[in-house]
Homo-oligomer: A and B are copies of this chain.
Amino acid sequence: MMAKLQKSIDKRNALINATIALVNNAGFHATPMSKIAKLANVSPATIYLYFENKQDLVNKTYIDVKAQYTAYAFKGYEESMSVEEGFEHIWKRIADFKLNASESAMFLSQCDNTPIIDEPSLQEGIKHLQPLLDLWKRGKDEGIIKPISDYLLYAYAINPLSFLMMAQKRGSFKLDEKQIEEAYEAAWSSIKK
């Protein structure tokens, strides 16, 4: 029983990882189930033991990766931190994720900019961002952060990292330690009061 379940989780993960890699390379609709199966070392038919169909596979992959992303982002963050301290912590965790788990980050970026994921799954993925919104609320109340909409805050403080990650992935430039610092500085400038 234990062994069986273990094996299943491995296979499921293999399928999810194969999906991420191949969708990054060619896009969702240009990636055949047969290739995903091959990369995950299973038969195409096996995919249907773990997922309902192709759409379900990509939805579940999205939700999985989004959960990893936010778990990573908030690791080590404590509500007891000051607003600026907390923001810097979360921001740098996110930067770290985009650099070190860039396959996952690219996948999310593709999903968030195309119609491949269905609406319920997108909603599902948004939920986990609450701690950041709470932090911003606190910052606004304390008069430290500009009193503007959360969308604007996200657009200026967090989203630029996606752009930089894509640029780096395309090989146009390198996000090193120094540039991360400069980016953080720009992010904070744009939202602090």
Q: A163 at interface (Cβ–Cβ under 8 A)?
A: yes
Q: A40 at interface (Cβ–Cβ under 8 A)?
A: no
Q: A154 at interface (Cβ–Cβ under 8 A)?
A: yes
Q: A115 at interface (Cβ–Cβ under 8 A)?
A: yes
Contact with B along A77-116 (1 / 0, CB 8 A): 0000000000000000000000000000000011011111
Contact with B along A121-160 (1 / 0, CB 8 A): 0100000000000000000000000101101101110011
Query: In the assembled complex, which residues on chain B have CB atoms less than 8 Å from the CB atom of A30?
Result: 29
Looking at the assembled complex, report how far the CB atom of A27 sits from the nearest CB atom of chain B, in whole angstroms.
5
Instruction: Indicate the size class of the contact surface on chain A.
Output: 35 or more
Query: In the assembled complex, which residues on chain B have CB atoms less than 8 Å from the CB atom of A115?
Result: 24-27
Number of copies: 2
Quick check: A112 and B166 within 8 Å, CB to CB? Answer: yes
Query: In the assembled complex, which residues on chain B have CB atoms less than 8 Å from the CB atom of A109?
Result: 113
How far, in whole Å, are A167 and B126 apart by their CA atoms in the complex? 12
Quick check: B191 and A167 within 8 Å, CB to CB? Answer: no
Query: In the assembled complex, which residues on chain B have CB atoms less than 8 Å from the CB atom of A8?
Result: none
Looking at the assembled complex, report how far the CB atom of A66 sits from the nearest CB atom of chain B, in whole angstroms.
16
In the A-B complex, the 4 residue pairs with the closest CB atoms: A29-B29, A190-B190, A155-B160, A113-B113
13 additional A-B pairs beyond A26-B115, A148-B182, A156-B186, beta carbons within 8 Å, are A29-B29, A110-B114, A113-B114, A148-B186, A149-B173, A149-B179, A152-B160, A155-B161, A155-B164, A159-B163, A186-B190, A187-B190, A190-B190
The 8 listed contacts between A and B (C-beta, < 8 Å) are A25-B115, A110-B113, A113-B114, A148-B179, A148-B186, A152-B182, A156-B183, A186-B190
